[in-house]
Amino acid sequence: MALIVQKYGGTSLGSVERIKNVARRIAKWRAAGHDVVAVPSAMAGETNRLIALAREIQPQPDPRELDVVASTGEQVTVGLLSMALLELGLKAKSYTGWQAKVLTDSTYTRARIVSIDESRIRRDLAEGCVAVVAGFQGIDAKGDLTTLGRGGSDTSAVALAAALEADECQIFTDVDGVYTTDPRIVPEARRLHTVTFEEMLEMASLGSKVLQIRSVEFAGKYKVPTRVLSSLTDPLMPVEEEARAGTLITFEEDPHMAMEQAVISGVAAQRDEAKVTVRAVPDKPGIAYAILGPIADAHINVDVIVQNVSHEGLTDLSFTVARADLPRALKILKEQVQPHIKCKEVTGDDRIGKVSIVGMGMRSHAGIASKMFRTLAEEGVNIQMISTSEIKISVVIDEKYTELAVRVLHKAFELDQE
């Protein structure tokens, strides 16, 4: 008998019929003798609808009030899913984030989980009850409602699994696992049977939204065995089969597998960044700090940074920020920085895309970067910026080539082949 935490995404709960199917799937796992904690997201589209409603009243919604509104989607699904389980004759009990004492910090709309008091859930499980705990939401030390950022119910589930020391956290979604790239962009993408935690972390941070990055961080920190699998299969498929389905995140590289493993495991793309360029700044100590210091003070995260070689004592510095932060970054640079450092101009470009290749095999293989750059050159795609880590290479390109770049890189690295 195992303790399983099962997270169900919005599409998996998109209609009453799908909610009933989720209940059937849970009932099957119970019948096989397992304890189950279910973590539903809101019904498909509901969180978007709630945020849009808030914006009709306040274009920039007050973050505390926005969380009060946005967290209601999950309050509906915990209740409905519990009812569906009761209808099947199971014992079930719903909990909101605050009832389950999911304590977070007070960063409204993207709060971090601090602790979970799992004692009540353990009592339910001991009584043979399915605990249905709302994803995406928590409560801060002041007693205010918080949400964990878009896609946050993945993190609720993995954090609960860590707190309960569950045997596995199963993330049920609308794809049957983690693919070599987003299957919506490249139909030839293949499902990975396993993916290392490090690769998953890079893929999630580089735009593969199949898992929220913080859920992957939690899985790594607490070594939670985490599996991504489909909720759109036959809910009564045998438990033994389902237990091996999807993609398992692994924490240790199997040396035999590493030998045979493809060099590259996946391609990820992101379109939510913008590029800032500060032109013709004096090339002298302290300039990067003078430019990026005020950006950091404004809590704007900087991703890729590139500085050109200097020409006659002047250089250009470019960096990327979240697209939503671009206006603020430009304002700070033009008003606070430009008068001091006397650069020629400050410009912004929000039509960029970032495409990355990820793979553990990169550590031991040469020539990966040159193959990536050659592949893009052959398609006439100009590379504006490059950034690398031990297991990834990212390039910033013109946004309009993002999907093309994903497709050609996926093919060039033979990710479509077994």
Regarding 110 and contact with ligand ADP (CB under 6 A), the answer is: no
In what helix (H) or strand (E) does residue 25 lie, and over which residues does it extend? helix 16-31
Q: Cβ of 27: how many Cβ atoms within 10 Å? A: 20
Regarding 264 and contact with ligand ASP (CB under 6 A), the answer is: no
102 versus 395: smaller Cβ distance to ligand ASP:
102
Q: Scanning the structure block, which residue is given the tokens 């569906």? A: 84
**Interface positions, 266-285, toward ligand ADP (CB under 6 A):** 266
12 versus 226: smaller Cβ distance to ligand ADP:
12
Which residue in 45, 87, 114, 184 binds ligand ADP (CB under 6 A)?
184
CA-to-CA distance for 36 and 92, rounded, in angstroms? Answer: 10
12 versus 318: smaller Cβ distance to ligand ADP:
12
Regarding 151 and contact with ligand ASP (CB under 6 A), the answer is: yes
Contacts of residue 305, Cβ cutoff 8 Å, sequence gap at least 6: 288, 292, 317, 318, 319, 387
In what helix (H) or strand (E) does residue 50 lie, and over which residues does it extend? helix 46-57
Task: Kindly list the strands in the beta sheet with 266-270, ordered across the sheet, starting from the edge strand earlier in the chain.
Answer: 266-270, 352-358, 392-398, 385-389
**Which part of the chain contacts Mg ion (CB under 5 A), choosing from 144-152, 245-253, 317-325, 392-400?**
144-152
Number of amino acids touching ligand ADP (CB under 6 A): 19
User: Smallest distance, Å, CB 74 to ligand ASP?
Assistant: 6
Q: How many residues does the chain have?
A: 418
Regarding 151 and contact with Mg ion (CB under 5 A), the answer is: yes
247 versus 318: smaller Cβ distance to ligand ADP:
247
Amino acid at 392: K
Which residue in 40, 61, 97, 135 binds ligand ASP (CB under 6 A)?
135
**138: partner contacted, choices Mg ion, ligand ASP, ligand ADP, none (Cβ within 5-8 A by kind):** none
User: Smallest distance, Å, CB 171 to Mg ion?
Assistant: 8
**Interface positions, 9-28, toward ligand ASP (CB under 6 A):** 9-10
> Cα dist. 343→288, 309, 333, 389 in Å?
12, 16, 10, 30
CA-to-CA distance for 94 and 83, rounded, in angstroms? Answer: 9
97 versus 152: smaller Cβ distance to ligand ASP:
152
Contacts of residue 66, Cβ cutoff 8 Å, sequence gap at least 6: 51, 54, 108, 109
CA 157, 161, 165: angle at the middle one, nearest 5?
175
Q: List contacts with ligand ADP (CB under 6 A).
A: 9-12, 41, 151, 173-175, 178-179, 181-184, 208-210, 266
Which chain residues interact with ligand ASP by CB under 6 A? 9-10, 41-42, 47, 73, 135-136, 150-154
Q: Which residues bind Mg ion (CB under 5 A)?
A: 151
